[in-house]
Structure formats: structure tokens, C-alpha cells
Amino acid sequence: MKHIFAVVVLALLSVTTYAHTPKGEPPVKKMKSNSVQHIVLFKFKPETTPEKLKEILAAFEALPSKIKEIKGFQWGTNNSPEGHAHGLTHAFILTFDSEKDRDAYLPHPAHKEFGSIVGPWIADLTVVDFTNQAK
């Protein structure tokens, strides 16, 4: 009887999990508490057209599908009212399970290819990595 109950509970859990996953989107990957956050901030050259910017953003968004070590990817444009952005307009956060995974990402051919796409259009950039210390 206990085995039947366990099977029913597991089946309900799997159905509930599937029902809460939006169609067409992969399930969110669970990130480790000591994950590495790779933060990239861009300031684009004034001659960067909206079309070129769209191409660059699409290329960056494609990296998680090409590089298995990327466990999380977020990006957005600066909307801080504080006035300390120094012209940096776009922020990206890539999450890795470890420094080893981050280190595998850096020389990855897909990352290098992205660098060749974005490089000519960058006026300035900042990169900061940290290992999550939050409990």
C-alpha cells in the first residue's frame, strides 16, 4: 500500500511541475548557492545602429544554447536614476556552477565568435565576476 501511495504522489508531483512550466520554455535550471556570477556591462559606440544592436543582443542571448556551462542568463538596459553608470547602457549576468565552468566559457569558440560580433561596436565595457556568498 505504501508503494502505491508513493507512486501516486510522485505522479502528481510530476504533473504539477509540468503544468507550471510555460509551454515552449525550458524549465529553470537550479543554481548552486556558491555559483559564479559573470557580470558584463557595455557602452556602445554612438554609430551603433538599432539594427546592429538587435543583432548583437540576439547573438548574446544565443550563447546559453551553445555553451552548456552557462546555467543562467539575464540582461537588461540601465534604468538607474542614480547617475553612476558612466555611459554603460546594457547589463548582462551569466551564471556558472563553478569557476571551472566559467573558465571553460571564456575560451569557448561560441564566446569568441560573439566577441568578434560585438567587439567593433564597444566603446567601453566592464566585467566583474564573483562567487555567490549568500546563504
For the chain, how many residues are written? Answer: 135
Taking residues 51-72, report their average pLDDT.
Answer: 97
Sequence ranges of the domains in the chain? 31-131
pTM above 0.85, yes or no: no
Per residue in 69-114, pLDDT tens? 999 999 999 999 999 999 999 999 999 999 999 999 999 999 999 9
Average pLDDT over residues 110-123: 98
Average pLDDT over the chain, rounded to whole? Answer: 83
Output the pLDDT for position 4: 39
Could you tell me which residue, 93 or 33, shows the higher pLDDT? 93
Distance separating the N- and C-terminal Cα atoms of the chain: 39
Q: Domain 31-131 class?
A: alpha beta
